[in-house]
Structure 1
Amino acid sequence: MRETHTAVLDRIVDGATAVLLLEDDGTVVDELTIAVEELPDDGRHEGAVFDATVDRDARKLLEATYREEVERDRRESARDRFDRLSERLSDEE
């Protein structure tokens, strides 16, 4: 079955294997392990975000489009959340 997901490169193992977390509406629904070479060159780093089409039955990546802007937005959002949390903790001291 062919499906489209947002995929986040969670980690690269031994420089050769990429672990993608497949998301639907911000929730991780599956994990896919592939060769790093299957990903676009500019997205071969942890935290990279892709639009990914997968064959769920074959557990195979069919297509991946790197989404640099989405990755940047996610990083900024996470940084903002961290900053807000650290401000609250420093206020409690």
Structure 2
Amino acid sequence: MLPDGTYTAVVDRIEDGIATLEMDTKNGLSALDIAAAELPAEARTADVVLEITVADSALVDVTREPEETTDRASEAQSRFDRLSKRPPQDGDDA
């Protein structure tokens, strides 16, 4: 059960009309399954960052965080780009 409070959450997935939100809590990673229809239309896709408020184990407020979503996507792409580069081989020009 997710304690009442405000969290930064990420839409992990949406399957069969159920959205799974993941967030870091003081007890570690937590997930909250909700009806996808409870999310704003522009937030019904994976990897969207949200600020959510939970009370009595229910979602009571959702705000999409477009800047944070863009920043996280950019950071992930940068990590992917760095990891996908071929390491230098012996004999390669430096």
Q: Does residue 1:91 correspond to 2:68, yes or no?
A: no
Question: Deviation digits for residues 23-66 of structure 1, max 9, x if unmatched?
Answer: 249x95310000011111111111111001112xx321111100
Q: Report the aligned-residue RMSD.
A: 2.0
CA contact (8 A) 2:48 2:69 kept: yes
Does 2:50 match 1:70? no
Partner of 1:19: 20
The runs of 5 or more residues in structure 2 that have no matched partner are 90-94
Contact 1:6/1:24 (CA < 8 Å) preserved in 2? Answer: no
Percent identity over paired residues: 37
Q: When the two structures are superposed, what TM-score results if normalisation uses the length of structure 2?
A: 0.82
Normalising by structure 1, what TM-score? Answer: 0.83
| Equivalent AA in structure 2 for residue 68 of structure 1 | P
Q: Please, which of 9, 12, 32 is the counterpart of residue 11 of structure 2?
A: 9
Letter in 2 for 1:46: A
Q: Which one has a larger percent helix, Structure 1 or Structure 2?
A: 1
Structure 1 outlier segments of 4+, above 2 Å: none
**SS of corresponding position for 1:47:** coil
Secondary structure at the counterpart of residue 75 of structure 2: helix
Distance 2:29 2:79 in 1: 23
Q: Structure 1 regions of 5+ residues with no counterpart?
A: none
Aligned positions, number: 87
- Kindly provide the amino acid, as one letter, of the partner of residue 4 in structure 1: T
Structure of higher CA gyration radius: 2
